[in-house]
Amino acid sequence: MLRPTTHRDLKTTLFGVEYETPVLCAPVGVQKIFNNDGETGVAEVMAELGIPYIASTASSEPIEDIAKANDKGAGGEGQRWYQLYWPQDKVR
């Protein structure tokens, strides 16, 4: 029943990319209503922690600013995804 637990490996691979943990961060959009840094602050911190950041379609910050903050927190190599909310209305 008991096993040594001093060495844990939580790495996981998604779409050919290996991540240190099986955790990803996908906060709600429009982060400016909670914090003046908006999504850029969260994206930077997630990069510092080595956790991929998933930007929302409803972000209050431009995607380019989020990417720049994410790279800054990771020393130039942040991991990020994009969460697309497909519109409900049919455009004709």
Q: What is the pLDDT of residues 3-59, one digit of tens each?
A: 888 888 899 999 999 998 899 999 888 999 998 999 999 999 999 998 999 999 999
β-strand 53-56 against 80-83: which pairing, if any? parallel
The answer as to whether 3 is a domain residue is no
The label of the residue with tokens 């490996």 reads 9
The answer as to whether 18 is a domain residue is no
Which domain covers residue 53, as residue numbers?
Answer: 23-83
DSSP for 15-80, please give it.
Answer: TTEEESSS--B---S-GGGT-TTHHHHHHHHHHHHT--EEEETT-SS-HHHHHHHHHHHTTS---E
The answer as to whether 16 is a domain residue is no
Domain total of the chain = 1
pLDDT tens for residues 46-64?
999 989 999 999 999 999 9
Q: Which helix (H) or strand (E) holds 9?
A: none
Length of the chain: 92
The answer as to whether 11 is a domain residue is no
pTM (two decimals)? 0.80
